[in-house]
Chains A and B, each alone.
Chain A
Amino acid sequence: MKVSLSSKRKNFLAFLFLFLSMGGLSLLAKEQTHEMGQKMTLLVLQLALIVITARFFGIIFNRFFHQPRVLGELVAGMAIGPYALGAISLPFLNSPLFPRGEGFLPVTPELYGLAVIASIVLLFMSGLETDLPTFIRFSLVGTAVGVGGVVLSFFLGALIAVLLLPGVDSFISPAALFLGALSTATSVGITARVLNERRKMSSPEGVTILAGAVLDDVLGIVILAVVVGISRVQAGGSEVEWAHIGAIALKAFGFWIICTVLGILSANRLTRGLKWLRSNDAIAGVALGLALFLAGLAEMAGLAMIIGAYIMGLSLSQTDIASELRNRLHGVYNFLVPVFFCVMGMMVNFAAMKGILIFGLIYAAFAIMGKVVGCGVPAYLMGFNLRGAFRVGAGMLPRGEVTLIIAGVGLSAGAIGADLFGVAIVTLLIASIIAPPILVKSFDGGSGLRKESLLKKEERGCRIKLEFPSPHIASFIRNRIIEAFENEEFFVHRLNIEGLIYHIKKEDIFITLQQKQGQIELSTSEENRALVSLIVMEEILALKDLFEAIEKVKRPEVVCEELAVGLLSDEQEKK
């Protein structure tokens, strides 16, 4: 049998050799390989510079300017991108490292593709970070905030175009519509990263911003679809077909609502299916694959890919594998996300800003006002105080990938020129640069909620406190308790390196364990008190056995003496 297999393999190799030896085919393959090799070499070199520079700038901004790393990553992109240092021709490449792309995007499709994947990972993780019960509780205010921001921004954006741009005289002119649409989208990515760094992702403001920003993106894309529809009809000299516009809008909203509801309802079943893999790495890989799949579906439905990825993350956020997924995908996230922001920074074309800078600044100011007021007022009316309303407004400021998509579509459709594309970039830049520091600063101080009762509801539950004579004993018992929960098929996730805080999850059971010196505190809902008490009780009783067993062992000093003997003996002496 072995002989037969070996001879088959030889035949196959001989065939492969003959096939590859064929002259014409070989030449073609060589050319393609050479071209592909060049492209890949460029991509790898670009990526190397992006990864290193983004990290470097991120650390500098974080450590020396006390700003979020996002900002450093964006500035890194601006500095090394095709409109700045990246345009300088390098002798060993015979071309610039970042040659300008031929289409509306200044970077190569390969690099842009990586940025798109990074944005999918970013939004998938943002979805996973979302505390769904809080999300649902704040979805009403999130919707009000999102709609408020979109309506006012769109109106102000279009108004500025009508008032200041020559040749634009009505709200339904393509340029006015595009400038309106451009000011609607919010970049969840930048805000999510800042919220994550400040550990405010699950705060009422955080969830409201995320709910509102996601809705903004959905509305932004729907508006884009509608605006493109109107522009095309107008360009053809016909009347606007409302039925067509309605159909586009319905499809976009339909995808969002159906996928979110289906995702949340089927999350537990999906989790059970994933657990069949019996490998946490495989579970994380398949979950990320599903996020990419839903992102693709979202794009096919006429929405942004990031929305599909966010829905997937959101659906899995309340399952017991969410912490494990975050844990496993953290490395991918840390590698790719700075690439996304750096590439975003590369889109900034300094030359395009010159001619239209004043208009761009006025437009940006109104776009910022539209968001702060448009989002802040509904937030204030729905339970936030002024501080909280401002945080929500500031969190909705950053523009990002959706703005770029809208601008790109407008440019390719001929609705806006390179100058207005530059305006979009100026706005994106200003809003994105001023938003993170404002957002960081705004989170100093107390609660942003007017109705304090909302917070009290969150805190209701039970706390089990255990005191031990030393931190060493507490650490030992903490590990035993964690092991006991794992044996009960719970997922345990350590939140950060600095503090000893653990999230212990299984289906709808959620427990927090924290160790402070010699004290262990377990928090959970009143409903799960029995479970926590019984597990801890059994572990402490099991320790009794352990201590009894240790007493039976030889005295520690005897064991140590045995270990110490012979430490200084010479090999030759032994002989």
Chain B
Amino acid sequence: MNLKKVLSPEDIIISLEASSKEEVIKEMVDHLYRRGKIDDREAALRAILEREKKMSTGLEKGVALPHGKCEAVKELVAAIALKREGVDFDSIDGQPAQIFIMTLSPLNRSGPHIQFLAEVTRLLKSKEKREKILQASSQEEVLELFCS
């Protein structure tokens, strides 16, 4: 799956200001809203927070995949954010999350949405890749690391 079809350098937040799980989600949703990718900020936020309520999307090794489905988007939208200091995200391994990949997809619409998350997860399996992403200084550099 070609991640560049979904992501552009502007979709990447190189350093998050947020210091809690909820703040991370809000900051990323706001970013997508400002970019004009979301019609309804509140609906998008609600979808992601509801999904988090069922089970945290904080995986292992500092990676979290907050995602949700709502009518606020017409197609799959995604954003990547980094917080080098880490944020408590109720992750499976209890470790703070540093790399966040957010996706929002339309309700009742088929498309390779989970496949996008799976592709990202597969890429982030490599410790070397994760470290390089966290060391990256520009949006383009992060995107290149995700797409290479």
Contacts and interface: CB of A to CB of B under 8 A. Distances in A.
Contact of B110 (A488, A527, A531, A535): A488
Interface string A374-394: 000000000000000000000
Interface string A472-504: 000000000000101111000000000000000
A265 to B, nearest CB: 19
A530 B115 CA distance: 9
B121 interface: yes
Interface string B49-71: 00100110000000000000000
B89 to A, nearest CB: 16
Contacts of A487: 110-111
B3 to A, nearest CB: 14
Interface string A505-540: 010000000000000000000011011001101100
Nearest to B51: A541
Place the interface of chain B in its size category: 10 to 19
Contacts, number: 39
B121 A534 contact: yes
Interface string A543-574: 01100000000000000000000000000000
Interface string B96-115: 00000000000000111111
Residue from the set B113, B118, B121 with the largest chain A CB neighbour count within 10 Å: B118
B49 to A, nearest CB: 14
Given A527-B122, A530-B122, A534-B121, A541 B114 contact: no
Contacts of A530: 117-118, 121-122, 125
A527 B119 CA distance: 10
B91 to A, nearest CB: 15
A538 B111 contact: no
Nearest to A507: B1
A488 B55 contact: no
A549 to B, nearest CB: 13
Contact of B114 (A488, A527, A544): A488
Interface string B115-131: 10111011001000000
A484 B51 CA distance: 17
A559 B122 CA distance: 47
Interface of B: 51, 54-55, 110-115, 117-119, 121-122, 125
17 contacts: A487-B110, A487-B111, A488-B111, A488-B113, A489-B110, A489-B111, A489-B112, A506-B115, A528-B118, A530-B125, A531-B114, A531-B115, A531-B122, A534-B118, A535-B114, A535-B118, A538-B114
3 smallest beta-carbon distances between A and B, as pairs: A531-B118, A530-B121, A487-B110
